[in-house]
Amino acid sequence: MTDIHRTIDAVWKLESARIIAGLMRIVRDVGLAEELAQDALVAALEQWPAEGVPDNPGAWLTAIAKRRAVDHVRRARLHERKAEAYAREHDQPPEPERDDVLRLMFISCHPVLSTESRVALTLRVVGGLTTREIARAFLVTEPVVAGRIAAAKRALAEAGVPFALPEAGELAGRLSSVLEVVYLIFNEGYSATSGDDLIRPALCLEALRLGRMLAELAPGQAEVHGLVALMEIQSSRAAARTGPDGEPIQLHDQNRGRWDQLLIRRGFTALLRAREIGGTPGPYVLQAAIAVCHAQARTAEETDWVQIAALYDALARLMPTPIVRLNRAVAVGQARGPQAGLDLVDALRGDPALRDYHLLPGVRGDLLLRLGREPEARAEFERAAALTGNAAESAFLRRRAERIAVPEAVAVTLGESVRAFLGREDLGAETLRSYGQTLGRLSLALGERVPLASVTGEQVALACTTQWGGTAAGTWNRHLSAIRSFAAWASADDLTAGLARRAEARTRAAEPIGAGELDRLWARADLPLRERTLWRLLHESAAGIRAVLSLNIEDLDLDDRRARSGSAWVTWRAATAGLLETLVAGRSQGPVFLTDRRPGPARMPAAADRCPDTGRGRLSYERAEYLFKQATTDLDPTGRGYTLHRLKPR
Domain coordinates in residue numbering, the chain: 1-83, 414-496, 515-646
Rounded to the nearest angstrom, the gap between the alpha carbon of residue 264 and the centroid of all alpha carbons in its chain is: 28
Closest CA to 246 of 391, 359, 137: 391
Give, in order, the Cα–Cα distances in Å from 514 to each of 70, 635, 645.
41, 10, 13
Residues in the chain: 650
Low-confidence ranges of the chain (pLDDT < 50): 78-83, 86-88, 90-96
Give the CATH number of domain 1-83; options: 1.10.1740, 1.10.8, 2.60.120, 3.30.200: 1.10.1740
Q: What is the pLDDT of residue 508?
A: 60
pLDDT of residue 75: 64
Residue 364, judged by CB atoms within 10 A of its CB (0-12, 13-18, 19+), counts as buried
Q: What is the pLDDT of residue 454?
A: 86
pLDDT at position 298 is: 92
DSSP lists the bridge partners of residue 594 as 618
135-173 tens-digit pLDDT:
766 657 788 888 888 888 888 888 888 877 777 677 777
Question: Can you state the percent helix, strand and coil of the chain, rounding each to 5?
Answer: 65, 5, 30
Tell me the C-alpha distance between 267 and 261, whole Å. Answer: 10
The CA dihedral of 600, 603, 607, 612, to the nearest 10 degrees, is: -10
Q: Alpha-carbon distance 146 to 137, whole Å?
A: 14
CA separation for the pair 610, 594 (Å, rounded): 8
Which residues share a beta bridge with 140? none
DSSP string for 284-334: HHHHHHHHHHHHH-SSGGG--HHHHHHHHHHHHHH---HHHHHHHHHHHHH
- Residue 90's pLDDT is what? 47
CA distance 361 to 355: 10
- The Cα-based distances of 538 to 32, 118, 541, 552 in angstroms read 34, 30, 5, 15
CA distances to 41, 275, 347 from 629, rounded to whole Å, are 36, 45, 34
515-646 CATH pick, 3.60.21.10, 3.30.360.10, 3.40.50.300, 1.10.443.10: 1.10.443.10
Model pLDDT, residue 83:
46
The letter for the amino acid at 430 is: E
What spatial distance separates the first Cα and last Cα of the chain, rounded to whole Å?
54
* Whole-number Cα distances in Å, 611 to 115, 592, 600, 604, 614: 29, 9, 14, 11, 6
The DSSP output letter for 594 is B
Give the separation between CA 475 and CA 31, rounded to whole angstroms. Answer: 40
Q: Are 493 and 482 in contact (CB under 8 A)?
A: no
Give the span between the Cα atoms of 616 and 607, in whole angstroms.
10
Which pLDDT score, from 0 to 100, does residue 92 have? 44
Question: Is the CB of residue 455 less than 8 Å from the CB of residue 438?
Answer: no
pLDDT at 136: 64
CA distances from 129 to 41, 124, 510 (A): 13, 5, 43
**Spatial distance between the Cα atoms of 337 and 309, rounded to a whole number of angstroms:** 12
Assess contact for 179 and 218: CB atoms under 8 A.
no
> What's the rounded Cα separation, in Å, for the pair 466 and 163?
42
